[in-house]
């Protein structure tokens, strides 16, 4: 029973990996970028749990900077994905321009709130 569960999990993981290998390279780059942002956010949460929430505004802006970046990157990924029919009329240049504009606004707010 336990053995077969382990094999199932392995099989599932293997199929996911082979399916993901087919993903275009530019989407993989975006995924890497999202993973980086989420990882940074997790580090900050762990740090806050250790030292306390004293400069709370700084903590919030640090966390929101990471999550905001991750969210915007995911939005970009949805828009530049060729398989996504919803955005087939939207040129990737336009999607990237939106991404840049949103990031500028995000970082402006973060810098103001960082204290």
Partner 1 sequence: MARSPLILVALISLIPLLCHSFSPETPTGRRILVLVDDLAVKSSQSLYFKSLSSRGYELDFKLADDPKIALQRYGQYLYDGLVLFCPTVERFGGSIDQAAILDFVDSGHDLIIAADVQSSDLIREIATECGADFDEDPAAMVIDHINYAVSENEGDHTVIASDNLIKSDVILGSSKIEAPVLFQGIGHSLNPANSLVFKVLSASPATYSANPKSKLSSPPALTGSAISLVSVMQARNNARILISGSLSMFSNRFFRSGVQKAQSSTKHEKSGNEQFLTEISKWVFHERGHLKAVNVKHHKVGEEDEPAVYRIKDDLEYSVEIYEWSGSSWEPYVADDVQVQFYMMSPYVLKTLTSDKKGVYSTSFKVPDVYGVFQFKVEYEKLGYTTLSLSKQIPVRPFKHNEYERFIPAAYPYYGAAFSMMVGFFLFSFVHLYSK
Q: Which residues bind partner 1 (CB under 8 A)?
A: 25-26, 29-30, 33, 36-37, 40-41, 43-44, 47, 51-52, 54-55, 58-59, 61-63, 65-66, 69, 73, 96, 100, 103, 107, 110-111, 114-115
Tokens encoding 51: 């030292």
Which residue, 16 or 29, has its beta carbon nearer to partner 1? 29
Give the residue among 112, 41, 43 at the shortest CA–CA distance from 51. 43
The CA–CA distances, whole Å, from 40 to 5, 32, 35, 77 equal 33, 12, 9, 20
Output 30 or 83, the one with its CB closest to partner 1.
30
Burial class (CB in 10 A: 0-12, 13-18, 19+), 88: exposed
Nearer to partner 1, 6 or 52 (CB): 52
Output the smallest distance, CB 13 to partner 1, in A. Answer: 27
């Amino acid at each position: 029973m336990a053995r077969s569960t382990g094999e199932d999990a392995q099989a599932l993981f293997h199929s996911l990996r082979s399916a993901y290998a087919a993903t275009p390279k530019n989407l993989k780059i975006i995924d890497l970028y999202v993973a980086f942002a989420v990882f940074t956010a997790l580090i900050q949460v762990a740090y806050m749990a250790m030292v306390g929430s004293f400069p709370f505004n700084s903590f919030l802006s640090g966390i929101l900077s990471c999550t905001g970046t991750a969210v915007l990157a995911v939005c970009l990924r949805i828009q530049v994905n060729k398989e996504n029919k919803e955005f087939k009329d939207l040129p990737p240049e336009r999607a990237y321009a939106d991404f840049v504009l949103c990031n500028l606004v995000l970082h402006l707010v973060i810098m103001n709130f960082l204290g």
